[in-house]
Each structure stands twice: as C-alpha cells, then as structure tokens.
Structure 1
Amino acid sequence: MPVVPVLNALASGLFGVAAFHLLALPLPWLLGPVTSCLIAALLGVPLGGVKPVNAAMRTVLGVAVGATLTPAVLATFPSMWPTLILMPVFILAIGVAGVPYFRRLCGYDFPTAYYAAMPGGLQDMVVFGEEAGGNVRALSLIHATRVLVIVVALPFLLKGIWDADLDRPPGVPLTTVPPSELALMVFVAGFGWWAARKVGLFGATILGPMILA
C-alpha cells in the first residue's frame, strides 16, 4: 500500500480542520476535510486511504442509517405520502437527465455515469460505483463537489439567516451509551458485513450492517 497518498490525505484533512477552526467556520471536522481534500484532489495531489479502515468506517455508516429506521419512524410514513410518491419521480428525472450528460458530454462509461448522476450519500455512491466497475476518482470528485456545495451552503444559511446553533453535536455522548448497546452495534456492523459478503450482496460494507440494524 502506497504510504505517501495516505499521508497526503491525512495531512489535507487535518489542515482543513485547523483552517475551519481558525476561521470559526461551521462543522470543522466534517466540512474542513471535505473542502481541503477536494481542493487537493483537484490540484492533482495523490490521495489514498487504508482499505480495511475505509471498509470498517462504512459499516458504522450502515449501522447509523439502519438504526434510524425505527417503528416510530415507520409510523410517520403515511403522513409523508406526497414526498414518498414524488421521490421515485424525482430520482427517475435525475437519471434521465444526468446519465446521458455524464455519458455523452463527459465521456464516462455507464457505471461511472449512472452512479455520478444518482443522488445519495457520497460514500454509498462511491462504494456502489467502485463495485460496478466505475471510475472511483471521478465519482469521488463529483459527489464531493455536490456534497460540498449543499452541505457547505446549508450551515451558513442556517447560521446566517436563522442563527441556528451548530455547535451542539448530533446524537448523545459516547460515555452515556450503555456498553451492551455499543457491543451490539459492533456485532451488527461486523456480522452484517460478513453475512452480506457471504451472500454476495452489492455494497456489503454498508448494506449488510444497515439491513441487520
């Protein structure tokens, strides 16, 4: 495994965190690395990650997404029927417009064009696109740019217009979570990943833990 790209990525991420803290910008641990790594990638700096660590972090994402779909959330679905009906139409419209754009104007192959056009989490689309044979670097840059525009603009709007408090971290402190629940989440992440790989599930690192959670 090349060490220099990994060190470049870590250094870029830490620089982004420090810069956002210094400038008192919102969400420094999220937006700082996203911004600095995107700029570094656009400048041609070789960036890389440690695959086992990347995969392990994706299982955390899968557990986090799956655990939010509780019976209480499912009970609210009937009240959201207009949105639920429009979502497939919205995704279809994006696909019809986006896939030909990336195929014909940008010259990408179909897997890259498809996963570049589809809305979704950055990690999800990159993982699925990679497993489908797409261009990982192109997918990462496209979705990082999309996320950067949306996620960077939103905190500034929330802070500037509505004076929202963005210093409060989401969720609960780790120290308040019972050890039994932490152990259960670790088990769900590991076993869900393993089981999904065993059955050949696409995007096993995310979908396996998500389904099990």
Structure 2
Amino acid sequence: MKSFIKSLPLALGLCLVGFLGGTVAHSLHTPLPYMLGSLFFVALGTAVFPRLLPENYRFPEVFRSVFIATIGATIGAKITWDVVQNLPQVALSMLALTAFVPLSQLMNFQIFHRIGGYDRPTAFYAGAPGGLVEAIVAGESAGADVQVLAVQQFLRIIAVITLLPVGMSLVYGHPVGSSAGMSLNRSAVGITHIPEVIGAALLGLVIFRRLHVPAAQLIGPLICAAVLTLSGLAVIEAPQWLISGCQIVIGTSLGTRFAGMNLRRLVKATWLSLLSVGAMIAVGLAMALAIHPLTGQALDVLLISFSPGGVTEMALVALSLNANPAVVTLHHLYRIILTVVMLGFVGRRDWLTTPRP
C-alpha cells in the first residue's frame, strides 16, 4: 500500500502527459485517439528524457486495473438480448474464428521466432492475436523479454486500428471509426449510471481475481456487466469522457513500457509487426471470403470481425458502416477469451520455457 501511494503522484503526472497526447490525437482525428495519443506522448517523453522515470519503473497495477475494469464493464454492457438473438446467425463466423486464433498464433510464432530470432517464450506471447495485458503478464512469468513482448503487442494493436480504418476509409471515400467522430454511445450519456458502471467494474474485478480467472481485470467486469444488463438489474452506461479517461490511463501505462528501448530494436519490432499483422489480415480476409456466401453477413463486417485490433475501435468501424457494433464486439470478445484460454493451456508446456539463445 505504501509503495502504491508513493508511486501515485508520478503516475498522475504521466497521465497529464497522456491527456495532452490524447487531446492532440483527438484534434487530428486519429483512430482511438486517447489511447494511442497518450501512449505515443508518454513513450516519446521517456525516450527524449530517459531520466523521467526511475530505473525499473512500473506503473501502479492497482490503479491501472480499475480503469481496465471500467472499460471491461462498458464492453460487457454491449452484450444485449439483441446480440444474443443474433448468435445463430454468427455461429459459422464464430466457428471460423475458432480456427483463426490458433492459426494466427502458430503463424506469428514462426514469424517472431524463425524470422525475428526471438526466444520461444517471447515469440509465443508476442504472437498472441489478442489479450494484450494477459499476454504480457503471462509472458513475464514465462521468462519472456517483457519489453520486446510489450512493444510487439502494442504495435499489433496500433497497426490494426490504424491501417484497417485508413484502408477502409480509402475504399469507401469517407472516414470510418473514431476518426469519423464515432462513439460507442449513440446518444449523449450523463452521469446517472456511473455508480452502476463502477460497481460492475469493481465487483467483476474482485470476484474474478479471487477465482484466478485469466485477464480477470477485463473479463470479470465484462461478464458481470453483461449479466446485469441481460437480467435488467442495472443500466451500464458510461459517458464518453469516462471512457476516454480510462483509455488515457491505459495508454499512459503502456507508454511507460517503451522506456529505455533503443531505436534499432524498435525498428525491428515495427517491421516484424507489419509482417505479422499483414499475414493475420490476409488470413482473416480469406476466411471472410470463404464464409461470406454462407452467412449472409457483409464482407467488410466479417473482415472487421477477423481483424485482431482493439475491441472498441473495431466496434466503431462497424458503427461507421451502419453495422451492429455489438455483433462485431461479440466476435472480438470471443477472440480475446479464446486467446487467453489458449495462452493458459499452451503456456504450461515445457517446450516454452527453454532458455534464450
């Protein structure tokens, strides 16, 4: 507790830097501006001023977990009865997604291990097509190079949520996603239901951590909010400023992971990420083309559903195309849960703990 209180002032100061970055990114209409803007500004600040952070600095995990939990609750609230009723229609695409996750994991492992030269734990967890936070935590305990792992996971998110909306904007001739000013809230949301949001977030966080569920800070609040929403016991609606604030804190915490990384390693991580993301999108497009005639779902919506980017941004892209963002969110939640389960199962195998070359 004392260490948390001691580290909190610096964390809040970094969040101010992140807020500035998010504001600049929002004014430039970039995808997922508050998360990516804060991440970029904090990462840049620690690169330009390496003494800004103490040696081996870690952003307060307890502080960050609360904001991750809030995001989880807002995502879970999107699982409504309308989404549940759509399950039969998305059964085939969900089945294809079940094949997409392990195929992407295997493909990424080969890219990072064979081509990139990363050791097995780092290559395996860097190649996870989802579960950013859980992949980093699990990779750290498995002996992976946490800095490289974190950068590769961040670059996966950045590459997908930047390149896909930009590419689709060029195809459609107009912006899509958050760059088009879209929000998951179709109408203005006040502060009325903030207690329910925070309550669902904290309840899910505490219960699922005690149950030792993987990615408890995200999955727990998500399931809790979904249950409360489906049962009608609570209305989980977070105002946009709260969601943006959570993204700033999360982006800031991720930005601190870039501290001390040299330019050569960053360049290598970037081209490996582009190779990995390009391969995953190609596989996703192939699967979308294969099942499109059978499902009746729009090809672009299927492509969004198979793109391993951020849940929020992918839902915003779907919203821009007048598609149901909850259906797209359902696919991405399933991808994340499936990835986390796979990481927990495969990560226990002895082959993954071999020493680095």
Shorter-chain TM-score above 0.5: yes
Distance 2:217 2:149 in 1: 18
The CA RMSD over aligned residues, in Å, is: 3.3
Distance 1:19 1:208, change over 3 A: closer
Bigger relative CO (Cα 8 Å, ≥ 6 apart): 2
| Alignment-derived partner of residue 167 in structure 1 | 181
Q: Is it true that 1:71 corresponds to 2:86 in the alignment?
A: no
Provide TM-score, normalisation by structure 1. Answer: 0.76
Distance 1:17 1:9 in 2: 12
Aligned equivalents of 1:211, 1:38: Cα separation in 2? 32
User: How big is each residue's C-alpha offset from its partner over 1:7-55, in whole Å with a ceiling of 9 and x where there is no partner?
Assistant: 7843652453354356x33343233223334555677945752322201
How many angstroms does 1:56 deviate by? 0.3
In structure 1, give the amino acid aligned to 2:125. Answer: Y
- Which amino acid is the alignment partner of residue 118 of structure 2? G
2:71 to 53, 58, 61: 61
Alignment correspondent of 2:21: 16
CA contact (8 A) 2:29 2:181 kept: no
- Distance verdict in 2 for CA 1:103–1:153, change over 3 Å: closer
Q: Secondary structure at the match of 2:41?
A: helix
Query: Shift in Å at residue 191 of structure 1?
Result: 1.5
**1:114 is paired with a residue of what secondary structure?**
helix
Instruction: Give 1:114's aligned residue.
Output: 124
- Check whether the contact 1:115–1:125 (CA below 8 A) recurs between aligned residues: yes
State the shift of 1:109 in Å: 4.5
* Contact preservation (8 Å) 1:38, 1:141: no
| Cα distance, 1:207 vs structure 2 | 1.9
Counting only pairs closer than 5 Å after superposition, residues 10-159 of structure 1 correspond to structure 2 as 10=15, 12-20=17-25, 24-27=28-31, 28-39=33-44, 45=50, 46=53, 48-104=58-114, 105-110=116-121, 112-130=122-140, 134-157=144-167, 159=169
- Give deviations 1:104-139, integer Å, cap 9, x for gaps: 5433342x4333212125345435545666444323
Instruction: Check whether the contact 2:166–2:175 (CA below 8 A) recurs between aligned residues.
Output: no
Number of residue equivalences? 208
Q: How far is 1:212 from its partner?
A: 1.8
Between the aligned partners of 1:203 and 1:185, the Cα distance in structure 2 is: 19
Alpha-carbon distance between aligned partners in 2 of 1:73 and 1:115, rounded to the nearest angstrom: 31
Please tell me whether the aligned partners of residues 62 and 207 of structure 1 are also in contact (alpha carbons under 8 angstroms): yes
Contact 1:192–1:208, Cα closer than 8 Å, also in 2: yes
Structure 1 unmatched runs, 5+: none
Q: Distance in 2 between matches of 1:209 and 1:21?
A: 27
1:186 aligned residue: 198
Residues 54-85 of structure 1: CA deviation (Å, up to 9, x unaligned): 01011112212322222211211222233112
Q: Is the 8 A contact 2:101 2:129 kept in 1?
A: yes
Q: Distance in 1 between matches of 2:161 and 2:154?
A: 10
**Unaligned stretches of 5+ in structure 2?**
226-357
SS in structure 2 at match of 1:68 = coil
Greater CA drift, 100-109 or 86-95: 100-109
8 Å CA contact 2:133, 2:215 repeated in 1? no
Q: Is the 8 A contact 2:21 2:38 kept in 1?
A: yes
Identical residues among aligned pairs (%): 20
